[in-house]
Amino acid sequence: MDITIMGSAAAEAVPSLWCNCECCKTAIKNGGKDIRCRTAYLIDDDTCVDCGPDIFTQSVRYGMKWEKLDRLLITHPHSDHCDAIEMSWRRKGFANFVRPLEMVGSPKVKDMIKNVLIGNEEMNGNLFEETLHIHFVEAQPGAPIQSGDMEILPLRANHGAWKEAACLNYIIRRGNHALLIANDTGFWSEETWQIAAGANVELAIIDCTCALAYPDSVDGHMGANIAVKFRDRLLQDKVLAPNGQAIVNHFSHNGNSIHELLEAFFVPKGIQVGYDGMRIQL
């Protein structure tokens, strides 16, 4: 599997829109790895994970080919991970020769897209199948989904205010290779740890939104200390293979997202720091 981190920021990006904090000013001055789009991933040519407001820029920058894209996995209904308006350009009159897409997400993702788009007069009829050419596959924690040659195991994230399992992390398996995408989430519940145990993935991407400024943040999003504990538990429960790679990702300027500082903290602990354009081959 060929994985590209197409975005490494939380909702408001880095430097954050409208913000004048020290972290954002430093990010502008530094450029490079300190400029972070909203979090999304490309897997091989055919699978995208999350589709937020930066998807146009990301698609051009990382050579996404729309004619090859078979599926879109959505982690949760927050707009930095699924921008319904961007999905709406799949409709007639905007995109031509649109390739049908399988979309995997919680039922709340489907509701959110409907809530945003219904009411627009061009969105009548069967919104997903007919208007957007999307086959929506509802994901539930612990229930594996087969999509082409990809096996997807949704896990309940510790994130968001919904009572239902609206926010998901995914274990994605193709052939002999597997990875875990674990943003957005705080430290998992015991139920989630039990479902994930023994997955033996080669790569784990771990939420680190609160990073260095709030290192002990444990619910909703993780800080740096908790992200290390999360990696340790992944190894202990054999979710992550003993020689597997761990990468922290999804950073907020509020957590202090300066790459050099993050590397100084994480690299000695055997954890890599995600950045826009990072590529991992499994």
What residues between 8 and 47 interact with Zn ion by CB under 5 A? 16, 19, 21, 24
Q: Which is nearer to Zn ion, 253 or 259 (CB)?
A: 253
- Binding Zn ion (rule: CB under 5 A), the pick from 50, 54, 102, 184 is 184
Please report the DSSP string for 19-81 in residue order: ---HHHHHHHHH-GGG-BPBPEEEETTTEEE-B-TTHHHHHHHTT--GGG--EEE---SSTTT
Distances from the Cα of 77 to the Cαs of 26, 49, 105, 164, 244, in angstroms?
A: 31, 13, 9, 12, 29
| Minimum CB–partner distance for residue 130 and Zn ion (Å) | 29
Would strands 272-273 and 168-174 be described as parallel, antiparallel, or unpaired?
unpaired
Q: Which stretch binds Zn ion (CB under 5 A): 61-69, 147-155, 233-241, 247-255?
A: 247-255
Is residue 40 within 8 Å of 52, Cβ to Cβ?
yes
Tell me which residues in 68-97 interact with Zn ion (CB under 5 A).
Answer: 78, 80
The answer to whether residues 221 and 209 touch, using CB atoms and an 8 Å cutoff, is yes
- The answer to the question of residue 174 lying near Zn ion (CB under 5 A) is no
CB atoms within 10 A of CB 261: 17
| Residue with Cβ nearer Zn ion (80 or 91) | 80
Nearer to Zn ion, 91 or 221 (CB): 221
Q: How far is the CB of 223 from Zn ion (least distance, A)?
A: 15
The helix/strand/coil state of 143 is: coil
Cβ proximity to Zn ion: between 59 and 256 the closer is 256
CB of 236 to Zn ion, least distance (A): 26
**What are the helix and strand counts (H, E) for the chain?**
7, 14
Which residue of 253, 265, 271, 276 would you call a contact of Zn ion, by CB under 5 A? 253
- Residues lying near Zn ion in the complex (CB under 5 A) are found at 16, 19, 21, 24, 78, 80, 184, 253
